Structure 1
């Protein structure tokens, strides 16, 4: 009697490439638009104040839907959510590229942000389910971190090339063939999962409350630099976001099928890891914004020179996250790798805070950027590993959504606070009679110093709150399983 061989399982590493390609497309889109803004403004006749909505419409939808999308992945299947978000993102990209007026582009960007959130919210959860072996998982998270770092810097370069060689429309059109390829390979290579079922968490009221809270909160943070942190506008929308979040939490304690089971936050690893990660990004995210302004307005660098100046950060993050993070986490545990790396990040920010007027790149800027690259390349994979390790497999989509939301909100809130502090200090120095360049430099100095303090707080909390991660147990699986193919018996 003949027997049928078991079906060959798709390679986990090939599936990782698909997921990282989707993540790269989303990251690129978040940065690529910034380069094209002047061309968009000229073509569609945007006023300066309205132009910010080309970016903000995307970020509000993106930040508001991450948590909901992550939970939906657990309930209806992460592959289904990933591919659905990808379809929305690609179609919205086409809509953006075809935009002929301001309203059309802003609405399309909002829809694109929603698609980006749905796609990216489940990626981490899928990676953690693909790689149960801690050593393989460390390598996978390193690759994921490398893609994030490369995408953030690569978007600026790609955006400039497409805008200059073709037109701003092509920064959106390029997503169509790329997204189509990701979808085709995703259908074939990603694991099928049915999910827990909507009956396990179909809380419509909770979904509305948390989405509204995060969207309004994102809006308040994004506009804080325009209105001021203490303005009635910021405080009013911020208070409304907090009230909606409180209502959501109360709802989750009483709902029969909560959207976000609060039990997940009992995990010290998940809660502590996300808290430390959020503080890290709140401080570190400022180096691109304030650092670019310092190089341009104080040292007189051109946009191209600024892009080259930040390459050491991207290269360091890429090399360390792929090559060194996994073995270091296995040797010293992610907890201590994260703590030491956070000290490196704080040192880099402190060094930037000492960069003077007329500073030299090699002496005053490069050492700081190398510290940031080393710290970021090791801290991010370690903290993501800690945060995600605290979730059960059935909650991995939710944990992924929480992690992505923390990254988005932490970075945006930190930037709003630090930019406001820097601007206030610059205004004070101008009032004291300092010249423009000296006043700007003084503002950036206090911004970087504050950022360094935030990251040092994160390091202390990491040492206190995060539990030591267990060492990886020896695997008894044969080496042939590395490619995801199950041996036949």
Structure 2
């Protein structure tokens, strides 16, 4: 079979660092999208007359678009090339930002968030691939990866501050400001992102043919089934507290999610062009890492959602005060991003994951459950945020390293895609459930968040058990 060369011309040194500015700047935008929405959520709910179970879609919609379409995004990049997909995603991201900022009802706003999640699914992993293809191996590439990772880790904290400040004026500014930034990055990317061809046939581009028209090679149906299953499940979760488990719409949403998930699995196991080969699920360390990271990310965002509603609606804090209050939970990861790999190598991923998974539910348990308005930051909020921040410093990079180390050489990209999908889907589902329970009081939401954190701890403790037999490598 004839394959297309993927050789990418290497730009000169000044252009290389300009390219890194584009890639890292976009990674910053992708990372701050969730925190921007969290801090602005009470203001959005008040303005658009949305209760917490409806307003939470602004957070879970982005995560569902990101996680549900991440594998499909990898296929698009493999078949169409990195440059055109990356640039198109930047342009659509800018348009969706403006649409969300101008939205007058929740449906338009949520739709824009799902679209932005898909754009992030296209650009976040592709940026690292571009760095690997154009930066010379060695010190230059290491520095580029470090800068890229630092911007990604710092994006969440930046979003807290920007959203807190802008939401003081209007939540719409918090959603609009990424648009001109994305357009600036698009203009620079037109000049700096090198041209490349579609990927040759391989595990990340099954069925791709040079110039060919292999039927179903995009596998759009699988992507739509997975995303639809996630959205249906989120909807079902949000209806349970109000309508009950036996309500027709609840049962219908759960049934739709199950049917779409079953169709996705069948297509992936029997079709000729799967988005991901599901035999990876036989790798226990990968599955344990994906579920554990999903539990940590989901419980963390669930906590921040509950705390945002509590601090702004009941305690009377401003959006900026709320964003500043959350910094101890997010800033430590950004400050240690450059050293996280060395820390994991020094102590081993399994031990760091267990320590982080223990710190998170302890922090959740310390947060006040009575929803009282007289909140002391030093005693009621700060201890929780410090423990959650420690959990991410200890565990998050270790999770990814453990996940990708559990698969044979050549399949790390597949494993990383599956892992990142689980991380985003955990965020979508737990935030939805926490918001659905919140109208009856913070206590039930926090109990759920703590239970999810304890589930992650149980998975982490399983990883500490000595292995009785060497795992047989997959063919």
Report the counterpart of residue 93 of structure 1 in structure 2: 97
SS of residue in 1 equivalent to 2:464: helix
Match of 2:428 among 395, 412, 427: 412
Query: 1:80-479 counterparts in 2 under 5 A?
Result: 80-96=84-100, 108-123=112-127, 146-162=150-166, 164=168, 170-187=173-190, 188-189=192-193, 192=196, 194-196=198-200, 200=207, 203=216, 206-222=219-235, 224-228=237-241, 230-232=245-247, 233-296=249-312, 301-322=317-338, 324-352=339-367, 360-390=376-406, 398-419=414-435, 426=441, 440=442, 442-443=443-444, 446-464=447-465
Alignment CA distance shift 1:221-1:326 (3 Å) = same
Distance 1:466 1:272 in 2: 14
> In 2, are the aligned partners of 1:85 and 1:117 still within 8 Å (CA)?
no
Match of 1:69 among 51, 69, 73: 73
Alignment CA distance shift 1:226-1:13 (3 Å) = farther
Distance 1:392 1:82 in 2: 28
Q: TM-score, normalised on structure 1?
A: 0.73
Distance 2:177 2:130 in 1: 26
SS of residue in 2 equivalent to 1:259: coil
Q: TM-score, normalised on structure 2?
A: 0.75
Distance 1:285 1:170 in 2: 22
2:29 pairs with 1:28: no
Match of 2:50 among 48, 69, 78: 48
Alignment CA distance shift 1:359-1:114 (3 Å) = closer
Larger Rg, first or second structure (1 or 2): 1
The offset of 1:142, in angstroms, is 6.7
The offset of 1:248, in angstroms, is 2.3
Distance 2:467 2:82 in 1: 28
User: How many equivalent residue pairs?
Assistant: 443
The offset of 1:143, in angstroms, is 5.5
Distance 2:375 2:98 in 1: 44
Alignment CA distance shift 1:145-1:52 (3 Å) = same
Higher mean displacement: 224-233 or 279-288: 224-233
The offset of 1:68, in angstroms, is 0.8
Alignment CA distance shift 1:292-1:257 (3 Å) = closer
Q: Could you report, residue by residue, the CA deviation over 1:228-250 in whole angstroms, capped at 9, with x for unpaired residues? A: 37354344323322322222222
Query: Which structure 1 residue ranges, 5 or more long, are not aligned?
Result: 1-5, 427-439, 468-489
Q: Indicate the RMSD between aligned Cα atoms, in angstroms.
A: 4.2
Alignment CA distance shift 1:29-1:444 (3 Å) = closer
Alignment CA distance shift 1:381-1:124 (3 Å) = farther
> In 1, are the aligned partners of 2:67 and 2:422 still within 8 Å (CA)?
no
Distance 1:153 1:410 in 2: 20
> In 1, are the aligned partners of 2:295 and 2:453 still within 8 Å (CA)?
no
The offset of 1:409, in angstroms, is 0.9
Alignment CA distance shift 1:365-1:245 (3 Å) = same
> In 2, are the aligned partners of 1:28 and 1:154 still within 8 Å (CA)?
yes
Distance 1:222 1:21 in 2: 33
Alignment CA distance shift 1:347-1:126 (3 Å) = farther
Report the counterpart of residue 78 of structure 1 in structure 2: 82
SS of residue in 2 equivalent to 1:177: helix
Report the counterpart of residue 483 of structure 1 in structure 2: none
Distance 1:206 1:401 in 2: 16
SS of residue in 1 equivalent to 2:119: helix
Alignment CA distance shift 1:306-1:54 (3 Å) = closer
The offset of 1:85, in angstroms, is 1.4
Higher mean displacement: 236-245 or 354-363: 354-363
Query: Which structure 2 residue ranges, 5 or more long, are not aligned?
Result: 1-8, 209-213, 469-475
> In 1, are the aligned partners of 2:11 and 2:134 still within 8 Å (CA)?
no
> In 2, are the aligned partners of 1:128 and 1:396 still within 8 Å (CA)?
no
